[in-house]
């Protein structure tokens, strides 16, 4: 539960202020049988994502005992220091999450060193309206930006946008999103599930990286003569086209033909 308030102190937290710029979390409660299973972390992340999507406050604040600080840091809070708000003999620490800005990373997929491979931006939470997503993707100006929405423990909604449009599937941005989660907030898990426009995708942590389980996209002979003609005209050689749900494969008639295009 929580209240909106003008300032984060004991007096202001006692009354809900509809115009307050600070959202004060009073408590996070998990049933005893569900503790240490990721429910609190998932719930707090989802709560922050919903607050950021609403865009009504500037910051989310709470106080916590030292033993719970790792939980809130993993959820996206920064520890400000000892709090002036005291309940009992134990010290309490004040924590803040910026509600106006969605955290993000840029992940380089298929890279052996920094600034290599195929980069993708990964945005954690934030607003979900299409116009905001398009503007953020255009601002990054990378081939794809992945937008994550926490839904259940280990389960995330995932959307991919180019600087100009949303796409149905993107491999390197999914790999970047999985890597970022495993490194930043989901280090205790070996499996992540992404719910997407192309169905459920799975990412597994393996010894040397991340393994993705994508839907099979079996190509069939393209039955559109105009497509085949356009491809042959562009490449300047005869070929056969095979189309799947997300891609078109162009099969050339022998290696000599392929070498002649270089």
- Catalytically active residues are 144
Q: Provide the β-strand partners of residue 106.
A: 121
Q: Could you identify the residue written with the tokens 């116009």? A: 131
Residue 76: HSE in the Cβ half-sphere, 13 Å Cα cutoff = 29
Cα(252)–Cα(234) distance, integer angstroms: 13
- Closest to 81 in 3D by CA, of 98, 66, 97: 66
Sign of CA dihedral 171, 157, 155, 58: positive
Q: Which residues fall within 8 angstroms of residue 65, CB to CB, at 6 or more apart? A: 90, 91, 92, 93
- Closest to 59 in 3D by CA, of 122, 123, 1, 6: 6
The answer to whether the beta carbons of residues 193 and 154 sit under 8 Å apart is yes
């Amino acid at each position: 539960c929580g209240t909106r308030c003008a300032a984060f102190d004991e007096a202001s937290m006692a009354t809900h202020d509809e115009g307050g710029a600070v959202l004060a979390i009073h408590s996070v409660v998990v049933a005893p049988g569900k503790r240490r299973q990721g429910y609190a972390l998932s719930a707090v992340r989802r709560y922050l994502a919903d607050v950021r999507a609403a865009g009504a406050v500037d910051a989310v604040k709470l106080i916590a005992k030292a033993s719970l600080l790792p939980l809130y840091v993993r959820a996206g809070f920064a520890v400000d220091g000892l709090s002036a708000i005291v309940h009992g003999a134990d010290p309490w620490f004040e924590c803040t999450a910026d509600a106006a800005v969605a955290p993000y990373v840029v992940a380089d997929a298929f890279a052996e060193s920094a600034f290599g491979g195929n980069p993708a931006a990964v945005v954690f939470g934030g607003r979900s309206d299409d116009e905001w997503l398009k503007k953020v993707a255009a601002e990054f100006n990378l081939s794809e930006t992945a937008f994550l929405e926490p839904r259940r423990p280990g389960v995330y909604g995932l959307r991919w946008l180019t600087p100009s449009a949303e796409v149905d599937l993107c491999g390197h941005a999914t790999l970047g999103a999985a890597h970022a989660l495993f490194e930043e907030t989901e280090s205790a898990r070996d499996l992540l599930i992404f719910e997407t426009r192309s169905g459920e995708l799975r990412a597994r942590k393996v010894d040397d990286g991340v393994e993705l389980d994508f839907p099979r996209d079996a190509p069939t002979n393209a039955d559109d003569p105009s497509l085949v003609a356009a491809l042959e005209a562009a490449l300047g050689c005869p070929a056969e086209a095979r189309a799947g749900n997300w891609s078109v494969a162009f099969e050339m008639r022998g290696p000599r033909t392929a070498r002649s295009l270089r």
